[in-house]
Structure 1
Amino acid sequence: MGASASMTLVHPDRAHARAMIVRCVAEIERLESVFSLYRPDSALSRLNLTGALDNPPNELVELLAFGLSLAQASHGAFDPTVQPLLRLYLEHFSAAGASPAGPSAQAIAEARQRVGFADVDVDANRIRLGRRGAAITLNGVAQGFVTDRVADLLLANGFGNVLIDLGEGRALGHRPDGGAWRAAVANPADPSRTLFDLQLGNAHGLRPALATSGGYGTRFGPDPLVHHLLNPGTGRSANHYASVSVTAPRATLADGLSTTLSIMPPAHRDTLLARYPSARAWFVDSAGRVSGPDHARTART
């Protein structure tokens, strides 16, 4: 789904570990056939094309239901039906001589008429998009979901020491030297540099999963303030923070919350986080200052 991927497996049987990597890659490819917007034959692409999908894959039902619950909890800051707006921006910036400010107010208003999570019906037998021209994206949670599925597969097959990065991070156990796995959070001003890092793992006191969202990840044009983190209520990019990082027991939740917290007004973030007490969030402002559960500090390189 457009992200670089890596897995580190610690196991005494190299042949078994290699075989499991092959199984994990096959599972990733299977889930891409469900969630990918780049594959015209994926379940999600077929849903968007026709507005309805009978007998949807269980994974699509599960993740869309989670996305809709997060939309309700965030009062629409997270909205799986934001795809018409994303499509508008992609089409705008694909045209020659496109305004660097983005689409016109009229074009945004028209696209927003096709956005609205409350009009989506989902159950095990059928998914239906209630608005004409509506379309779904699960890019704000799908990488975390795939990460969790791979972690579950490895756990079920005897792998207790693993570090997974499939766009979002998930760790089990520890490194070969017995130390905790560590994950770096990039400096939004220079993503080649580390802003801070966290210990990951499923042992007591560690954080199993980490997700980071920031506008620097996907910019549409030359203006760094015009990017993929679109507020469904305004149709414009949200720029409350340079980045948001979230840890949680599972990568699906961390992924969804990092996206949501990037978009919703800062005054509402504590109310949302109170609904998910197992999650922790770190916020990076435009000056590189970090605020989070443990500290506030200045960016380092």
Structure 2
Amino acid sequence: MPRIDRRRLLIVGALGGLALAGGLPVRAESGRSLHRWRGSALGAEAEIQLLHPEGQPVGRLVTLALDEIDRLERIFSLYRPDSALARLNREGRLDRPPLDLVALLGQAQMLAERSEGAFDPTVQPLYALYAQHFAVAGADPSGPSREAVQAAVQWVDWQAIAISPARIVLQRPGMAVTLNGIAQGYIADRVGERLAALGVTDALLALGEIRALGSARDGQPWRAGIAGGAGGGMGGGAAQAQPIALGTAAGAYPALATSAAAGTMFERSGRANHLLDPRTGTSAAIGRTVTVAAGTAALADGLSTALAILPDAEGQRLAGAFPGIRIFHSA
């Protein structure tokens, strides 16, 4: 089964135009240096930027951040057979589940309820159907048969997951869970919390989705731009000309996440793509891209997934349930 490509955000302007070599400290302001780490995390390119007092070792902080990513990936990964999620899908239940899995599934169910099923963590059987169909040479480019899609949709039901600290149970045979529409954001939040507990006040984490702590140099917000541009608000509008301010300063947002139909295409045209409506089994329009700025990366991640699937009118109603977010979209 193909791995879902990461939804991309293009970081711009966060360093005021400085060109940095990966992993090297660079003078950012009096008494502080900026350390940028670039590498791979969660199966994709990742970046961590930290502002810290000059002379203070930062290698340990990056190592601890990467250890936290690895710990959470061992819980949420669909592709590691020893992960907690893989065991849940394989066995249909998981006794004494990790608390992070209980917490994230709880958030996923909240979003599923508020989006009326447009976001659904049990969409995995539908994704697997499409992936397996297009893995066969000469597959019908129109996708799986209508009957096969309807059968897979019957296994999709977020209300059929029983969640407690003692156990998680998939209550119907054939169900399977994926957290790919929210886990990257949750992991960015947890890494940010871990760094903050260690005394880091200013950092930018790009781990598939973005979480910002504090501010960049000279107290200015961290900034990120959306790759390819985006319109402002659910009703459309002019392309986003200025980068989005991130962090904890007034007017800034702590987190940013994007969902794009083009992120993973099952076939060349993109008419069949990974943004599958759990209620109907159909894919979002290929040009559909939604970016959400919010208070947490998990919320931004999950909302961007749901809003990329919902028609604009339904998306406006969902967005109204979450005051303080900002939405950019195209197509």
> How high is the TM-score relative to the length of structure 1?
0.89
Structure 1: tracts of 5 or more residues without a match:
286-301
Q: Secondary structure at 2:191's aligned position in 1?
A: helix
Percentage of identical aligned residues: 48
> Paired residue for 1:54?
95
Aligned length in residues: 281
Distance 1:188 1:231 in 2: 24
> Paired residue for 1:179?
220
> Paired residue for 2:280?
234
Select the residue among 99, 102, 105 that pairs with 2:140: 99
Distance 1:20 1:257 in 2: 30
For residues 116-131 of structure 1, what are the structure 2 equivalents within 5 Å? 116-131=157-172
Distance 2:56 2:74 in 1: 28
Give the drift of 1:14.
5.2
Q: Looking at both structures, which has the greater relative contact order when contacts are Cα pairs under 8 Å and sequence separation is at least 6?
A: 2
Q: Secondary structure at 1:11's aligned position in 2?
A: strand
> Paired residue for 1:71?
112
Residues 186-239 of structure 1, C-alpha deviations (whole Å, 9 max, x = no match) = 1189xxxx9653111111211110001111111111112221000011101022
Q: CA RMSD in A?
A: 1.7
Q: Secondary structure at 1:92's aligned position in 2?
A: helix
Structure 2: tracts of 5 or more residues without a match:
1-41, 231-238
> Paired residue for 1:110?
151
> Paired residue for 1:249?
295
Note if 1:198 corresponds to 2:244. yes
Give the drift of 1:113.
1.6
Note if 1:167 corresponds to 2:208. yes
Distance 1:139 1:164 in 2: 18
> Paired residue for 2:39?
none
Report runs of 4+ in structure 1 exceeding 6 Å deviation.
none
Residues 132-190 of structure 1, C-alpha deviations (whole Å, 9 max, x = no match) = 1100001100000000001111111111111100000111122234432111201189x
Q: Counting helix residues as a fraction of each chain, which structure ranks higher?
A: 1
> Paired residue for 1:293?
none
Select the residue among 10, 13, 37 that pairs with 2:51: 10
> How high is the TM-score relative to the length of structure 2?
0.81
Q: Secondary structure at 1:24's aligned position in 2?
A: helix
Q: Secondary structure at 1:224's aligned position in 2?
A: coil
Give the drift of 1:19.
0.5
> Paired residue for 1:279?
325
